[in-house]
Amino acid sequence: MSDRPVLQGFTPERLEPLLSPVGASLAECRRIVAHVIQRGNDDLREVSQVRAPVRNAATREFSVGRMTVHERHASQLDPFVKYVMKCHDGAEIETVRIPLEKPGRFSVCVSSQVGCAMGCTFCATGRMGFARNLEAWEIVEQIRIVARELRASGEGRVHGVVFQGMGEPMHNLDNVLQALEIISNPCGLAVDGRNVTVCTVGIVPGIERLASIKTRVRLGISVTSARSMVRRSLVPSEGKYPIREVIRAAKTFYERSGHLVMLAYALLGGINTTADEAEAIAELLREMPARLSLIEWNPVEGLPYRPPTEEERASFHDALAKLGVPVVRRYSGGKDIGAACGQLATATSRDDVRAARSTTV
């Protein structure tokens, strides 16, 4: 790949100063960005209403980054689609297309890293280890590819984005924030920030940084357990960032942004669906208005967990409701294609990771 900066990593406002030596106007930069990101056209010679010197400089000094769809798996159970995307260096990441309730609207679950360093014991990505951070343009490119496919097939458009694929977004926050600017820019992917959720396992400094900036983006926290010892056995980062501190930081985000925090809770049969757990959650959430999204954990080969039985799920749900914790049951689709919660991991990068060591949900 060329070492020129990649256009998908720029908003028009960031591009303008770099093209100012040839007298590019902000309007021309908007046309260039919209041409590449919004219309999905990689040929800069076809950009219209941009003067030749500006077009030539953009072509000469920038490149259009490419990620290819290595595999595409459409679920037979529901309208979820999983993409295995190949990066320029051969690394593979996974992206999931999620149908929303309203026909023609889709959300894209994106990866922010190749692998993940967090090592959550119930997560397929956690087993891979960490290879590298994704660049901002590589995050944008996952959405651009799905948007282009939806447009070509006439199926609809990208309405939302959720950072819940491979990786911990708070560990790659500079690139994630840069990608967020492009995702919500009217000349970029034009997705309303209110429909974008950044999910974390609970990296307190990252949550605090997100809380300190003016953003329409939503925050999601993967709770997993409100009992520290149990959580520690599932989410190693609990040792450094206990769930109480995570919720305290999330409360700050809520107070500053006014946006309710999405709390995701992966149900692991026999582990975190007990009455004690329900009480600990009620206690934990006493000071922050929140709604708990219950998601059934999906089997991952080789991991010593099981999904909850229907009885466990129902009694946990009832116990939480009786304690006044607002709960919603969230459907985690694409189970048959390994696209569901906790299942994302690419075989190739798992091998790469092992080799590199001797590299998220």
Per-residue binder mask for ligand SF4 (CB under 6 A), 205-224, x = binder: -----------------x--
Identify the sign of the CA torsion 293, 143, 146, 341: negative
Shortest spacing between CB 94 and ligand SF4, in angstroms: 11
Tell me if residue 19 falls in helix, strand or coil.
helix
Our CB check for ligand SF4 shows the closer of 166 and 211 to be: 166
What sections of 275-309 are H helices per DSSP? 275-284
Q: Tell me whether strands 130-133 and 218-222 are parallel, antiparallel or unpaired.
A: unpaired
Query: Which of 63, 125, 257, 273 is the binder for ligand SF4 (CB under 6 A)?
Result: 125
Annotation says 312 is catalytic: no
With CB atoms as reference, the residue minimizing the distance to ligand SF4 is: 360
Annotation says 94 is catalytic: yes
Our CB check for ligand SF4 shows the closer of 201 and 327 to be: 201
- Binding segment for ligand SF4 among 42-50, 162-170, 240-248, 317-325 (CB under 6 A)? 162-170
What whole-number distance in Å separates Cα of residue 242 and Cα of residue 235? 10
What whole-number distance in Å separates Cα of residue 219 and Cα of residue 160? 13
Shortest spacing between CB 92 and ligand SF4, in angstroms: 15
Q: Which of residues 222-241 bind ligand SF4 (CB under 6 A)?
A: 222
Is residue 100 packed enough to be buried (19+ CB in 10 Å), middle (13-18) or exposed (0-12)? middle
At residue 98's C-alpha, the angle toward residues 278 and 281, to 5°, is 10
Selected catalytic residue, list 92, 94, 168, 296: 94
* Residue 298 is a binding residue for ligand SF4 (CB under 6 A): no
* Residue 327 is a binding residue for ligand SF4 (CB under 6 A): no
Shortest spacing between CB 125 and ligand SF4, in angstroms: 4
Directed axis angle between helix 173-184 and helix 204-212, to 10°? 40
Query: Which of 9, 99, 126, 333 is the binder for ligand SF4 (CB under 6 A)?
Result: 126
Our CB check for ligand SF4 shows the closer of 156 and 307 to be: 307
Identify the sign of the CA torsion 300, 70, 188, 139: positive
Q: Is 341 in contact with 297 (CB distance < 8 Å)?
A: yes
The one-letter amino acid code at 139 reads I
Binding site for ligand SF4 (CB under 6 A): 116, 118-120, 123, 125-126, 166-168, 201, 222, 360-361
User: Which of the residues are catalytic?
Assistant: 94, 341
